[in-house]
Amino acid sequence: MTTIETIIEQARSYLPQLDATLIRRAGQFNTHAHEAPKLSCGRDCAQHSLEVAAILARLKVDETTLVVGLLHDVLTDQAVSAEDLSSGFGGTILSLVEVADKISSIPYRKSNQQQVESFRKMFVAMARDLRVILVCLADRLSHMRALDGSSDRDQVDYSRETLEIYAPIANRLGISWLKSELEDRSLRFLEPEKYAELASQITAHKEERNRYVTQVRERICDLLGVNGIQGEITGRFKHFYSVYKKMERTGVDLGQIYDLTAFRVLVDSVRECYEVLGLIHATWKPIPGRFKDYIAMPKVNMYQSLHTTVIGPYGERMEVQIRTV
Ligand code: MN
């Protein structure tokens, strides 16, 4: 179970100077605000806010954003007033909490593509501050994790909204683990049978996949070694939703599993990221239009990563992410 102390510990791993006073105070405030039995989120609200903060800590956000995560729901149940919040934590935190609150209460209707697009724009316009978007994404993930207890109707509506609005935003920000988890959890509610089938087939191909991963990993390892670069290389099966989309799109079956693996190379510096990219592209032919540079994009540089797709050793499409530790 997440506690305020585990969040502080998590935050100190990337904010070593953190004075935890404010976060502890927000934790207490959160607990008190949700003591009233009226639970708008249908489960333990105080625990939900802690989970949101823990997700934010995994995104390595600043102290203010962690506090906003802890407090993001305190106004909803009206146990706490805006004045209380402002006098306890200041105007900035109050206004961030209010915007986050407003965004999650936008009425969403199942809609055509144009409406989805305008919803997305409104979302981004309201949350000019990236920190609010991160809080909303973390909030959504926490709710998706707790969706098992909801009605079938809610599960479907909520999952569709997650897939149409939230996952694409996470994707634009380059936060791939969050995007993947949102998508996979949505798929499980929207297409439960296909999800179960995928899960069992993926398990069935495990050994073959592991052999392939080992082989490619050694190849990349040699490539780095010869060029004097220290790096850590991992290979993983792509997340369920991307496999599902690929199968829908191209009609391939899971027999072609090489197409479904992604590699990640962790290096020490941004300069080495580009060096590794050059080595990969010199070894395997890159697929045009698949290269994304999340290092050079200044607004989202909390995530320093280069993404590319190349034609791998068996003629398969092979995704490679190169990032700093
Ligand atoms: Mn919430």
Question: Phi/psi at 278 (nearest 5 deg)?
Answer: -60, -45
Of 9-13, 52-56, 166-170, the one with minimum mean pLDDT is 166-170
Of 71-80, 183-192, 277-286, the one with minimum mean pLDDT is 71-80
**Who wins on pLDDT, 96 or 291?**
96
pLDDT at 114 over 80: no
Q: Name the band, by pLDDT with cuts 50, 70 and 90, for residue 298.
A: very low
Percent of the chain at pLDDT exceeding 70:
87
How close is the Cα of 205 to the center of ligand 1, in Å? 38
Q: Name the band, by pLDDT with cuts 50, 70 and 90, for residue 1.
A: confident
Mean pLDDT of the chain, nearest integer: 86
Written as six digits, the tokens of 286 are: 């890159």
pLDDT at 37 over 80: no
- pLDDT for the residue 69: 97
- pLDDT for the residue 62: 94
How close is the Cα of 50 to the center of ligand 1, in Å? 10
How close is the Cα of 233 to the center of ligand 1, in Å? 36
pLDDT at 300 over 70: no
User: How many Å separate Cα 263 from the centre of its chain?
Assistant: 18
- pLDDT for the residue 302: 57
- pLDDT for the residue 111: 56
How close is the Cα of 267 to the center of ligand 1, in Å? 35
How close is the Cα of 302 to the center of ligand 1, in Å? 23
Hunting for tokens 């909803």 — which residue is that? Answer: 76
What pTM does this model have?
0.79
Written as six digits, the tokens of 186 are: 């949505």
How close is the Cα of 136 to the center of ligand 1, in Å? 8
**Distant-in-sequence, close-in-space partners of 177: CB < 8 Å, separation ≥ 6:** none
Would you say 120 and 106 are in contact if contact means Cβ atoms under 8 Å apart?
no
- pLDDT for the residue 305: 82
- pLDDT for the residue 257: 54
How close is the Cα of 73 to the center of ligand 1, in Å? 5
How close is the Cα of 137 to the center of ligand 1, in Å? 10
Of 43-47, 134-138, 166-170, the one with minimum mean pLDDT is 43-47
How close is the Cα of 71 to the center of ligand 1, in Å? 9
How close is the Cα of 223 to the center of ligand 1, in Å? 46
Over residues 135-165, the pLDDT tens digits come to 999 999 999 999 998 888 889 988 998 998 8
Over residues 192-251, the pLDDT tens digits come to 999 998 888 878 778 888 888 999 999 999 999 999 999 999 988 778 898 888 788 877
How close is the Cα of 54 to the center of ligand 1, in Å? 13
Query: What is the average per-residue pLDDT within 43-58?
Result: 90
How close is the Cα of 15 to the center of ligand 1, in Å? 24
How far apart, in whole angstroms, are the C-alpha atoms of residue 32 and residue 15? 27
How close is the Cα of 48 to the center of ligand 1, in Å? 7
How close is the Cα of 85 to the center of ligand 1, in Å? 16
Q: Integer distance in angstroms from the first to the last C-alpha of the chain?
A: 27
Q: Name the band, by pLDDT with cuts 50, 70 and 90, for residue 254.
A: low
Would you say 55 and 177 are in contact if contact means Cβ atoms under 8 Å apart?
no
Q: Name the band, by pLDDT with cuts 50, 70 and 90, for residue 299.
A: very low
How close is the Cα of 237 to the center of ligand 1, in Å? 31
pLDDT at 301 over 50: no
